[in-house]
Structures are given as structure tokens and as C-alpha cells.
Structure 1
């Protein structure tokens, strides 16, 4: 099953572990907020709507950060900008520990989102340009397992901290630990090389300036908008569950902190498995079919989880399925977007398409918070998530198949609009 990993050379393996670690640390810093929502609601008297706005703010800023970091990585290199983004999101996660109000936290969280979005975009491009096309789906998909591990570590740490310290101190300690990922920058500076494809393209192009609007020029415009629609659906549904699941388990199902940690652990194990499931399906069946199959299964699972009268045992088991499917859709975006665009705009396209989808999808957690004022939290989550997964299916149907595409060849064909592939 992991033969793809043993086939990687030393440079490819180091790049894989750098991006894997980056996404894991990204998840740690991001999920610290989701795990702190119930405490902040109690301590600060925040409404669910305000909690949703905080979650939305970081994702909107992630879209801006991803676009900016992508443009800078096209100009100055993937590895250099990757280091900047990791240091950035670590710093502002740390500073969040010293906030005392909703507005202060919204500022630090928003600034943290810039680095969060940039790290994902640049890391996805770096690994996509380094890996052989035959195994790209499995390798880039496996990076999503880093997110699951980072999330899992955060759940363990938060459970220990919240059981060891008073709530008004515990959440601050949790955010302060967000500075630790900055240490990864030192290892990247010493061990990670620039992607060969980028170096070759960069050396052959005299004019290195990129406009922020290049991805909306005529050869790419339609593909850009369709890719944004795809990621909007993926992250809209996933962020509903990621943002609100801890609160749902505690506030709707009335579980204790320890039991919430156990339920989330099962969900995270599913997320770990889903990363490898997507990679295998994407390389075997194609990118588009994989998105459509997993999104349909996801809508069904979310509907049962949040709308059907199931007991706690079924909730626990279905949590694994949900985690698998959530990771399954998200894991495929890195390779797929990279395969849609030529090298000269790949970074900015990855940053924009991946993170604009995050920003638009961030509306969904806010919608859950607003809808839950007039209905139970579970139905509000189910409606918003299922609607998002329908969008995934529609967007995948409109985009071309890219399995096995040679990224260097897209440079030669960049002025020819992509044709719609058949299912």
C-alpha cells in the first residue's frame, strides 16, 4: 500500500516530510481555536454567531494570504516563502494567547490566517512540482494525513491542559504553544531544495514579474472560477464539521471534555485514513470521479450524523466515516489544482483557488451559527454541510481530468484553454 513512498528519492522524501510537518503544525494552530470555542463562549459571553464570525475571519484572511504567498512563491521561490508563512502563523497564534476580547482575538486570528493560507498553498505547489506524476495523487493526498496528526496532537494537548488548569488559563496556554511550529523553519532552511521544475522555469523566463490578476486572464479564467467553486464546496462542508463538531458534542450531546476528546480521536483517525484513500482513488480512478464519489458519500454520512435520531454508539462509529470522507475530499485539492495551471502562475493559482474556496466556504460555519439561533445545532450543521457537498459534485463535473499530467507540459500549452473531460 505504501510502495509509492519507498519509490521516492532522498530529495522527494525530505520535501514530503517538510510539507507533511507544515500541514500538521498548521492544523495544530488552526484547531486550537475550534477546541477553545466552548470555553470562550462561556468566559466571554460570546454568542454562537460571534464564534462563527471568528472562524470565518481566519478563513477569509487565509484566502488573501494564500493568494499573496502564491504570487510571491512564483517570483521568489517556493521554499523561501514556505518558511515565511510558517513563521508568520506561529507568531500570531502565540499572540492570540494574550487577547482579552472578541475584537482583539479577531485581529490576531485574522493575521494568523494569512500565514495559514499561504503555507498550504506554497507547500502544495512545492510537493506537486517535486513528485513524479505517476504517484502525485497518493503523495500529495498523503499530506492530508499530516493535518489529521496535527489535529490529533492538539486534541491530546488540549485535553491534558483543560483537565490540568482552570479554563480561563488553559486556553491561553494552548494558544501560546502555537509558537513551537516556527522551529520547523530552521530544518527547512538546511535540508529542503527548491523544486527542479520551478528552477528550470524561473531560469528560462527573463520577466519574473507576475500580476495578481494573471490567473483571471483569458487562458485561465474559466478554470480558475471552476476550481474556486470546487474548493468552496469542499471546505464549506468540511469547515462546518471541523469548526462546530467539538461544540456539537459538548453542547448538543452534553459530553464531558474527556468524552469529547475520545469522540474527536475517532474522527481524527478517520481523517488520517481518508488521506490515503483519496490518493489511491485519485491515481486509480481519476481526480474528478474521486471528488464526486466521496462528496456523495459525505453528504449521506453528514445527513445521518446530524439529522437522524442515532444513539451515541452509532455517533462514535459514524465519526470515523465522517473523518475519512472529510479528509478524502480535501486531500485531493493540492495535486488537482497544481495540475490545472502552468508553472509561471501555479503558485498564485494554488493560493487563490484553494484559499478563495476556503474564504467562501467560511460563510458556512457562520451560517450554522446564525441558523442555530432558530433551530437545533445539529440540523443547522447538516443543512449547510450537505448543500456544500452538492456543489462539489457540480464543480467536479465541469473541470477536466488531470491524472498523470506532466506539469512541465502545461507550460507549452498554457495559451490553449483546457477542454472539459468526459466522466
Structure 2
């Protein structure tokens, strides 16, 4: 079956119809990207959940501990952008393998840090690989799956962040509590070596998409080179800037809450560290369903509408969860946390398909990696902003304020960007893709 024919297949009616129709290549890439993203997200989020432990282990302040997360996200922007450019130049699969290996090794080495400065250095290097992995994998899967199922496939991959969040909560809470304080957090980072095994499950040449191979062959024949700065040329600058603003807003909103969630539960709700980890784990169930709901919603109603609906819901759910008088009652906090996580993580669900459909093939990985990871880097400002505001107002208020600011940024971007649902990538390469349809 040709790629063109597979793109024209009907969506089907069952929730997993897209996967049932997918060939072995699509399934193999899907599972590799899903597991890699799950473990990638686990390693990034576990540091945020370990902030109270890191503060004690290294004798640092909340702002200093948050600075490591911010620095890691900033490094991910640089690493992601360069990784995307390399994927456009040499192939998606080859760079996907490299980035998985890179972030796994430096995650593992983080467990050997003896000083604050060493941990900062290692987490920065980990961020370099962390930044490229999701974007390169999302581009690869987005190019080989049927276009009418692009949202469902990439949204399902994105749901791995919820599983990763749940695993991170288990590791940072009950798991760490099983060991001596100095040892527990180190073991958690050592577990980060596991994703390295995934590099053996994708095939360097065979698993690259046909649209990429065709585009690369055309570039080679015309002797055209790919540069990382091409995404900033006048033809693409507007899309690059708006996609980056969307990523800044959505991720800044989310990280304003998730980065301090265990700290909030312990310090303002009076919940123990291990119990807070269980609460966050239960929140992750809401996150998973939010991402899956977005995946189907965006294929049905459009990428922009998905961001708008989940953004508005995020504001309401976050205000209730953080500011309502829920006390430390599990019967109130657990359902409120489930709904908040559903909205927060659901807000991310359309990044993969939307960014794949915004950029042409020759700069797709560069543009997607830059936009997504620029959002990660600037979200460090939101993380620091919460810490700075918390010096003068309650932590829950500072988390809410920064979260709302993030959503506003994302909503502005959706007004100015085109709708792309169902876009044919070959038509986009030829400059024939339609503009906004809604």
C-alpha cells in the first residue's frame, strides 16, 4: 500500500481503529516513541517532584533547586533545536537513537553528583538530549501515520507524559522513602539509564518516512543544504514565532503547577511526602485521559479549538484545585486533582500533530523542535516566577497567577495560527496547503 493510499483511509469508529489499520513500521515507531517519551518525561518530572529532597540533600533554597530545572529546560531548547536540524539533515531515526542514548546516560550520571554545581552541570547536559527526543520522534511518527489519524497517534504518544508523571511520583514519593535520604534520590536518577535500550527497536534507514526520503533526495539533487537558521527566514518566521508562543504558553502554564505540586501539597495542604506522591500519581490518571481526549477531540474539531477548550478549562480547574478551601481531605483533593491534571495535560495533546502540519518537510524537525523546546526553555521563567512571587504571596496564588498568564499566551497564538487538521504534508511541501478553515 502506498503512502498516498494510507493517507486516504477512513478514520473508522473504534477508539483504536487507527492502530489496527497501522502497518508494522508505524506500530514499531509508535511504541518506540511512546516508551521513550514516557521515560523521558519521567526523568524530567522526577527532578521537580524531588525538589524537597534536593533542598535537604544539598542544603539549597527553593529558588536554587528550581534553577536546576530552569537550566535544564533552557539547555533542552538548544539541544532540541540542534537535534531537529540534524534530523532534517541526516534522518529522523538516526538522531532519535542518538538523543535517547544521550539523555539516558546523563540521567544516570546525575545520580553520582556530589555537589549542587555538579548536579546542575549534569542536568544541563541531560537537557540537551531531552530536548530533541520528543520532537524528532513526533516528526517521524507524524510523517508515516495516516493524516486523518495524526492527532490520535501523536496524542497517544504524548499521553506517555502522564504515565511518566505517575512513575515519577512513585519514585519521588514511596520509592525514595524506602531508602536512606542520601541514597534514594540517587537510585531514582540511576534508573534513567533504561531508555537507552530503545535504540535497538527502530531501524536507521528503513523507518524514516517516505516524504522525508523524497524531500532529501530532491534537496541532494538540487544541492540544497539545510541550515538551522532556515526556520527564521521571512517565509517561515511568522509560523516559527507563533508556534513558539503557543509552546511557551501551554508549557509555562503547566510547569507553573507541576513543578511545585508536591511542595504545595506538603507545605500548604499539610500532606506527607509519601502521601503527596500518591496524590500526584492519582492526578496522573487524569492527565492520561486528558491527553487521550485531546487526541480524538483535535482530529474531530481542529487543533486550535482543542487548545482553546483545554486552556479555558485549565484556568477554572487550577483555581479550584489550588485556591478553593479543600484542606487536606483526600476525598476532595483527589477528584479535584484528577480534573486539574485532565485539563493541564490535555492542553499539551495537540502539539505533535499541529507542529508537524505547520512546517514543511525540509525544516519540519527543526521548526517543531525549536518551537516546542523554546517553550520548555521559557517555561523556566514561569518556574522561577512562581518561586519569586512565592516570596511575597502564598505559593498557591503564585502558581495560579503564572498558570493563567501562560494560558493567555497560548490562546493569543491560536488566534493568529492557521487550522491544519488533516493537512497533506506533500501539499504543504509544494506550497498548496490551505490556510485557516475555522
Question: TM-score, normalised on structure 2?
Answer: 0.92
Contact persistence 1:371–1:380 (CA under 8 A): yes
Alignment-derived partner of residue 220 in structure 1: 236
Task: Choose which of 49, 58, 67 in structure 2 pairs with 1:44.
Answer: 58
TM-superposed deviation, 1:159: 3.5
Task: Choose which of 280, 301, 311 in structure 2 pairs with 1:295.
Answer: 311
Contact persistence 2:252–2:376 (CA under 8 A): yes
List per-residue Cα deviations over 1:70-118 (Å, max 9, x = no partner): 0000011000000000010011111111112222111111110110111
Give the whole-Å Cα distance in 2 for the aligned partners of 1:387 and 1:310: 24
TM-superposed deviation, 1:32: 2.2
List per-residue Cα deviations over 1:220-253 (Å, max 9, x = no partner): 1111111111110000011112211111112221
Alignment-derived partner of residue 9 in structure 2: none
Alignment-derived partner of residue 115 in structure 1: 129
Alignment-derived partner of residue 32 in structure 1: 46
Give the whole-Å Cα distance in 2 for the aligned partners of 1:68 and 1:336: 20
TM-superposed deviation, 1:160: 4.2
TM-superposed deviation, 1:406: 0.5
Alpha-carbon RMSD: 1.6
Give the whole-Å Cα distance in 1 for the aligned partners of 2:292 and 2:359: 24
Note if 1:233 corresponds to 2:249.
yes
Give the whole-Å Cα distance in 2 for the aligned partners of 1:338 and 1:194: 15
Say which SS state the counterpart of residue 143 (structure 1) adopts: helix
List per-residue Cα deviations over 1:239-284 (Å, max 9, x = no partner): 1122111111122212113311221112100111111111111011
Say which SS state the counterpart of residue 111 (structure 2) adopts: helix
Task: Give the 5 Å matches for 1:72-151.
Answer: 72-151=86-165
TM-superposed deviation, 1:307: 2.1
Contact persistence 1:202–1:208 (CA under 8 A): no
Q: Which moved more, 1:129-138 or 1:152-161?
A: 152-161
Alignment-derived partner of residue 290 in structure 2: 274
Give the whole-Å Cα distance in 1 for the aligned partners of 2:178 and 2:206: 38
Q: Which moved more, 1:246-255 or 1:221-230?
A: 246-255
Give the whole-Å Cα distance in 2 for the aligned partners of 1:112 and 1:353: 19
Give the whole-Å Cα distance in 1 for the aligned partners of 2:45 and 2:306: 26
Q: Which moved more, 1:129-138 or 1:23-32?
A: 23-32
Give the whole-Å Cα distance in 2 for the aligned partners of 1:371 and 1:226: 27
TM-superposed deviation, 1:370: 1.2
Alignment-derived partner of residue 410 in structure 2: 392
What runs of 5+ residues in structure 2 fail to find an aligned partner? 1-14
Say which SS state the counterpart of residue 339 (structure 1) adopts: helix
Q: Which moved more, 1:125-134 or 1:156-165?
A: 156-165
TM-superposed deviation, 1:189: 4.2
Give the whole-Å Cα distance in 2 for the aligned partners of 1:245 and 1:29: 16
Contact persistence 2:174–2:277 (CA under 8 A): no
TM-superposed deviation, 1:151: 2.2
TM-superposed deviation, 1:154: 2.8
Question: TM-score, normalised on structure 1?
Answer: 0.96
Q: Summarize the Cα distance change of 1:133–1:175 in structure 2 as closer, same or farther, 3 Å threshold.
A: same
Give the whole-Å Cα distance in 2 for the aligned partners of 1:50 and 1:163: 23
TM-superposed deviation, 1:7: 1.9
Contact persistence 2:262–2:273 (CA under 8 A): no
